Amino acid sequence: MRYISTRGQAPALSFEEVVLTGMASDGGLYVPETVPQLSHDDLAAMAGLSYAEIAFRVMQPYVNGEIDDETFRTIVTEAYATFSHDAVVPLNQLDANHFLLELFHGPTLAFKDVALQLLGRLLDHFLKKRGERAVIMGATSGDTGSAAIEGCRHCDNLDIFILHPYQRVSEVQRRQMTSVLADNVFNVAIEGNFDDAQAMVKASFADQSFLNGTRLVAVNSINWARIMAQIVYYVASAVALGAPHRKVSFCVPSANFGNVFAGYMAYRMGLPVERFVIATNANDILHRTLAANDFSKQELKATLAPSMDIVVSSNFERLLFEAYGRDGAAVAALLERFQAEPTALADAPLARLRELFASHSVDDATILGVIREAHHRTQEILDPHTATGYRAAERERGEASVPMVTLATAHPAKFAEAVVKAGFPGVPLPPHMDDLLEREERYTVLPAELSAVQQFVVDNRR
Ligand X SMILES: *Cc1c(COP(=O)(O)O)cnc(C)c1O
- Radius of gyration of the chain, Cα coordinates, nearest whole angstrom: 21
Instruction: Kindly tell me which of 184 and 221 has the beta carbon lying closer to ligand X.
Output: 221
**For ligand X, the closer CB: 330 or 422:** 422
Kindly state whether residue 164 participates in binding ligand X, applying the rule CB under 6 A.
no
| Annotation marks residue 247 as catalytic | no
Give the nearest distance from C-beta 461 to ligand X in angstroms: 27
Q: Is there binding between residue 110 and ligand X (CB under 6 A)?
A: yes
Contact criterion met (CB below 8 Å) for 121 and 113: no
| Residue from 141, 176, 259, 303 in contact with ligand X (CB under 6 A) | 259
* Among the listed residues 244, 253, 328, 403, the single contact to ligand X using CB under 6 A: 253
DSSP code of 203? H
Nearer to ligand X, 152 or 410 (CB): 410
CA distances to 150, 360, 366, 416 from 372, rounded to whole Å, are 32, 19, 10, 14
CA distance 84 to 135: 29
Residue whose CB is less far from ligand X, 148 or 323: 148
415 phi and psi angles, rounded to 5 deg: -125, 55
Rule CB under 6 A: choose which of 5, 141, 204, 254 binds ligand X: 254
Q: Which of 112, 128, 247, 297 is catalytic?
A: 112
140 binding ligand X? (CB under 6 A): no
* Minimum distance, C-beta of residue 460 to ligand X, in the bound complex (Å): 27
Each residue 291-330 as x (binds ligand X by CB under 6 A) or -, in order, gives ----------------xx----------------------
Number of residues that bind ligand X (CB under 6 A): 16
Q: In whole angstroms, how close is the CB of 69 to ligand X at the nearest point?
A: 29
What φ, ψ does residue 89 adopt, rounded to 5°?
-125, 80
- Write the DSSP string, 118-183: HHHHHHHHHHHHHT--EEEEEE-SSHHHHHHHHHHTT-TTEEEEEEEETT-S-HHHHHHHHT---T
Q: Does 109 bind ligand X (CB under 6 A)?
A: no
Q: Should residue 388 be labelled a site residue for ligand X when binding is judged by CB under 6 A?
A: no
Contact status, residue 60 vs residue 256, Cβ threshold 8 Å: no
Nearer to ligand X by Cβ, of 133 and 421: the residue is: 421
Would you count residue 409 as binding ligand X (CB under 6 A)? yes
Is 385 a residue that touches ligand X (CB under 6 A)? Answer: yes
Selected from 256, 283, 289, 303, the binder of ligand X by CB under 6 A is 256
Question: How far does Cα 240 stand from its chain's mean position?
Answer: 22
Nearer to ligand X, 201 or 255 (CB): 255
Stretch that binds ligand X, among 162-170, 250-258, 345-353, 453-461 (CB under 6 A): 250-258
Is 112 an interacting residue with respect to ligand X (CB under 6 A)?
yes
Residue 132 C-beta: closest distance to ligand X, Å: 29
Query: Is 255 near ligand X (CB under 6 A)?
Result: yes
Cis amide bond preceding 90, omega within 30 = no
Contact residue for ligand X among 179, 187, 221, 289 (CB under 6 A): 221
Distances (CA, A) of 197 to 138, 264, 367, 448: 8, 32, 29, 7
Cα 59 from Cα 52, distance rounded (Å): 10
Is residue 157 within 8 A of residue 132, CB to CB? The reply is yes
Interaction between residue 257 and ligand X (CB under 6 A): yes
Looking at the Cβ atoms of 100 and 255, the one nearer to ligand X is 255
In angstroms, what CA-CA distances link 397 with 97, 251, 283? 10, 9, 22
Quote the least distance from Cβ 373 to ligand X, whole Å.
Answer: 20
Nearer to ligand X, 119 or 330 (CB): 119
Site track for ligand X across 410-429, x = CB under 6 A: x-------------------
- 32, 176, 417 from 108: Cα distances, Å: 29, 7, 17
* Cα distance between residue 444 and residue 190, in whole Å: 9
Distance CA 231, CA 253 (A): 15
Residues that bind ligand X (CB under 6 A): 110, 112, 143, 221, 253-259, 307-308, 385, 409-410
* Residues with catalytic function: 112
